[in-house]
Amino acid sequence: MDKKIVLVGAGSTSFGPSMFSDLYLSDLLKGSTVVLHDINKDTLNIIYELLSIENERAGNKFKLEQTLDREAALKNADFVINSIEVGNRMELWWQDYKIPRKHGSTQILGECGGPGGTFHAFRIIPPIVEIAQDMDKLCPNAFLINFSNPMSRVCLAIKRSSNIKFVGLCHQIQFLEKDIPKMLDKKIEDLKMVVAGLNHFGFLLDLKDKDTNNDLMPEFNEKALSFYKEHEDPFEFSSLSFEVFKRFGYFPHPGDNHLGEYLQFGEEFTKTQDMIDWINRTDKYNEGIFKRVRRYHRRLKKGRYPRKGMLYKVSSGEQAVPIIEALIEDKNTYENSVNIPNDGIIENLPKDLVVEVPARVNKQGIHGIKLGNIPKNIAALLRIEATVQDLCVEAILKRSKKLAIASLAIDPNLGSFEKAEKIYDEMIEKQSDYLPKFK
């Protein structure tokens, strides 16, 4: 295979060994050129040196390159996988979390929703838009796979600012893929599920047996609460998910911590300490990956690189490589959850929106399964967040301070222009090096 695959943000812990492992497990992609790109020379070089020894042990499966030059990296690419972050991710996340709450926001996490999620978007969308626009010029036929959060807002900005083909991928669907087979005593490959909504804000709308086409939703609805209460986990499904299921009639799939970012009543059904623990756990997880990479690199430099190597021997479960293979081989595979433009997929949500839906993947691209109108109560809930995303992205693309403050003020987790202005002023002061120059 002679494809050019570019990993943008290759030095970040967001990729980690899992993405590289998935590439090296692919026989189809053997012979491809893999380009590692990052703006941090030191971390990029560490990853390049580690993958060079792994590549050598694998019989030089890929042509491996590294570069700090984005244009050189992207020129004539076939696939671009993006996982960048801006600045010190965890230091900035704590600011995203604490400062809005200090000024009266009820946000519970500050990663993808609430005023904190908005500032995350303010920082990360401008460089990703530059990447997408460079792709328009340097590799217009390439496919961009995005992993950077806030997923929905990032993808919406890509849609509005470029003409490239793209998809956003998130692994939250793995909760249901793990739990439903246990609940219903079936294999995951025997199930066809329809999960739809926005990233970190989706609902199980349909569930069928693939062979018989039998409707399994009644059985799921009957068993779900007792199953999840028995396996209750504040980082997965707990009080908030149960309340939303009770009130809206459809089970939300992201877990309490992510779901609660978009709901005005999120704080009522989550514990503050649980959310703090989640941010700390994420920090420790990323730090663990970073330490593991550093440890392997030190051993490499001392000539004692472990025989088993750094890469995993099984798939990570992330879908980037399977989607690339399906696009190349015209597999027409079914993906349970991808983030793509709402081109008439969900009719009672705005067309100018990126939705998270099931899709088919073949050589023509990624095609969302047409769902028509989803339940009105679910659509109403999603449209509130869609409005915030619309204004947030527009503020970034137009560099408008007025729209930026408005996108903070109308968020369900704030609802005040006075508080929005206080949050804006303090965040601009603390994060000025990373934020757009709003006017």
Beta strands in 60-146 (DSSP E): 63-67, 79-82, 143-146
| Mean pLDDT, range 415-426, rounded to an integer | 98
Provide, rounded to the nearest whole percent, the portion of the chain with pLDDT above 70.
99
Q: Tell me, what's the pLDDT at 2?
A: 92
pLDDT in tens, 276-325: 999 999 999 999 999 999 999 999 999 999 999 999 999 988 999 999 99
CATH topology of domain 4-168: Rossmann fold (3.40.50)
| Mean pLDDT, range 265-270, rounded to an integer | 97
Q: Tell me, what's the pLDDT at 323?
A: 98
Contact 103, 409 (CB under 8 A): no
Q: CA-to-CA distance for 70 and 207, rounded, in angstroms?
A: 43
Mean pLDDT for the chain overall: 96
Task: Please state whether beta strands 365-368 and 354-362 pair in parallel, antiparallel, or not at all (unpaired).
Answer: antiparallel
Q: Tell me, what's the pLDDT at 1?
A: 81
Has residue 15 got a pLDDT over 80? no
Q: Tell me, what's the pLDDT at 189?
A: 93
Backbone angles phi, psi at 340, to 5 degrees: -140, 165
Say which residue the tokens 């990373």 belong to: 434
Of 13-27, 366-380, 409-423, give the lowest mean pLDDT range.
13-27
Has residue 17 got a pLDDT over 80? no
Q: Tell me, what's the pLDDT at 85?
A: 94
| Domain extent listing, the chain | 4-168
Q: CA-to-CA distance for 34 and 20, rounded, in angstroms?
A: 10
The partner residues of 359 in beta bridges, in order of sequence, read 335, 368
Residues 6+ apart with CB under 8 A from 27: none
| Mean pLDDT, range 187-208, rounded to an integer | 97
Q: Tell me, what's the pLDDT at 429?
A: 97
Q: Tell me, what's the pLDDT at 59?
A: 95
Q: Tell me, what's the pLDDT at 18?
A: 85
Has residue 153 got a pLDDT over 70? yes
Which is nearest to 68 in space by CA: 52, 45, 88, 102?
A: 45
Has residue 14 got a pLDDT over 70? no
Has residue 200 got a pLDDT over 80? yes
Q: How many CB atoms lie within 10 A of CB 372?
A: 9
Has residue 167 got a pLDDT over 80? yes
Has residue 16 got a pLDDT over 80? no
Predicted confidence band of residue 149 (pLDDT cuts 50, 70, 90): very high
Provide, rounded to the nearest whole percent, the portion of the chain with pLDDT above 90.
97
Helices and strands (H, E) in the chain, number of each type:
15, 12
Has residue 13 got a pLDDT over 70? no
Overall size of the chain counted in residues? 439
Q: Please confirm whether the linkage preceding 234 is cis (ω < 30° from 0).
A: no
| Mean pLDDT, range 61-72, rounded to an integer | 97
Predicted confidence band of residue 96 (pLDDT cuts 50, 70, 90): very high
Which stretch of DSSP H or E encloses residue 257?
helix 256-259
Q: Tell me, what's the pLDDT at 279?
A: 97
What pTM, to 2 d.p., does this model score? 0.97
Q: Tell me, what's the pLDDT at 250?
A: 98
